[in-house]
Amino acid sequence: MDIKISDILAGHAVLLNQEAKDKTDILVRLVDALAANGLVADVAELRRVILEREKLMSTGIGNGVALPHGKTNVVKTSMAALATLKTPLDFDSLDDKPVSIVLLLVGTESNVGVHLRLLSRVSRMVGNEGFRTAILNAASVDDVVAVFASHEEDRP
């Protein structure tokens, strides 16, 4: 069975129209949102993993999107969190453009294959301008999940 982003993106971890002072601020908020369901064994460790990964190389992949990610054993399954930003943030992106969509992907150490497939799928989706526009225009968590679901149906 293939995992879909729409299956692992929890409603409580979708933060729309956020104001953030910098990328660390929004990354910490996304980790905390993921942890709100009690499924993260060690929130401080997850924050460390995500922030360390960001220090190695920016996850700003271009087109106004950042795709922070990490693998850790403090989660038992793949998880995702999403934020849209009211004011775009400098994320040291590959194209030097500020970021308005931040999608955090967390995987388990033991299931790297799933993590890489999810990263690949997300990269394809965010490369689609219609997808990005629909996410930025989403008025609710349900809208965001529906956008992911409809774009995932198009692709294997």
How confident is the model over 75-101, as pLDDT tens digits? 999 999 999 999 999 999 999 999 999
User: Does residue 155 surpass a pLDDT of 70?
Assistant: no
Task: Single out the residue of 154, 65, 55 nearest to residue 105, CA to CA.
Answer: 65
Domain layout of the chain by residue ranges: 5-153
| Residue 120 structure tokens | 């690949």
What pLDDT, on the 0 to 100 scale, is given for residue 115?
86
What pLDDT, on the 0 to 100 scale, is given for residue 154?
53
User: Does residue 156 surpass a pLDDT of 70?
Assistant: no
Pairing of strands 65-66, 60-62: antiparallel
How confident is the model over 103-140, as pLDDT tens digits? 999 999 888 888 888 888 888 899 999 999 999 999 99
Task: Single out the residue of 75, 70, 80 nearest to residue 15, CA to CA.
Answer: 80
What pLDDT, on the 0 to 100 scale, is given for residue 82?
97
Alpha-carbon distance of 66 to 43, in angstroms, equals: 21
What pLDDT, on the 0 to 100 scale, is given for residue 10?
83
The domain covering 5-153 belongs, at the CATH homologous superfamily level, to Mannitol-specific EII; Chain A (3.40.930.10)
**pTM (two decimals):** 0.94
How confident is the model over 49-81, as pLDDT tens digits? 999 999 999 999 999 999 999 999 999 999 999
User: Does residue 142 surpass a pLDDT of 80?
Assistant: yes
